[in-house]
Amino acid sequence: MNYPNGKRSINSSSSGNHGLQRSFSNRGMSLEDDINQTNDYYLAQNICVIHKKPTPVQIVKVDYPKRSAAVIKEGYFKQASTTDYNGVYRGRYIDFEAKETRNKSSFPLNNFHEHQIKHMKAVAEHDGITFVIIRFRAHNQTFFLPAVKLFRSWDSQYSDGGRKSIPYKQFVAEGIEIPSRYPALLDYATVIEQLFF
């Protein structure tokens, strides 16, 4: 897929085995799958309503190798996406981005886009709850970091000698490790409750 400016998107490893039943022992295979399963549980238990935002795509070229099968050969994102998930929890608007890294010592800030940061800042200005969920695969840990803490790191990278990444130890010190339990594989609502209510 391509963004509206014609640049190719980075192939994401977040596409999972949708429709397949997963067990708790498979946790960690995909951050997106874990969040989606948790969101399904939250919805079923009437805890909150959080959904993954669909990304509008314009399909340009399709091949039909068989009458019953179509293969998309070229497509473009109609607009730059904001964040991955949004919804409502206890009457408050929720908006967050989820990322994972194989890096052991830090999380590169170039994994975020300027328009995502601007979007999260706008949500925060309107008293919405906005945050990032970051998984360090090497440590098998997933952290909840309020967006206001991300903003400090994002803005400081533009100063002389500013870091271009957030150290792992900063997530340990300033973030909250999200508890893992079944059936809420990433029970981030307990962290929202702790920080905002």
User: Residues at the annotated binding site for Mg(2+)?
Assistant: 82, 84, 97, 116
HSE-up of residue 121 (Cα within 13 Å, Cβ side): 11
Tell me the one-letter amino acid at 58.
Answer: Q
Q: Contact at 8 Å (CB) between 93 and 57?
A: no
Q: Contact at 8 Å (CB) between 28 and 22?
A: no
Alpha-carbon distance 100 to 141, whole Å?
10
Q: Which residues are annotated as a binding site?
A: 82, 84, 97, 116
Nearest to 32 by CA among 12, 2, 61: 12
Degrees, nearest 5: CA angle 186-147-187: 10
Nearest to 120 by CA among 174, 152, 83: 83
Secondary structure (3-state) at 70 = strand
> Could you give the angle at which helices 114-125 and 147-156 cross, rounded to 10 degrees?
130
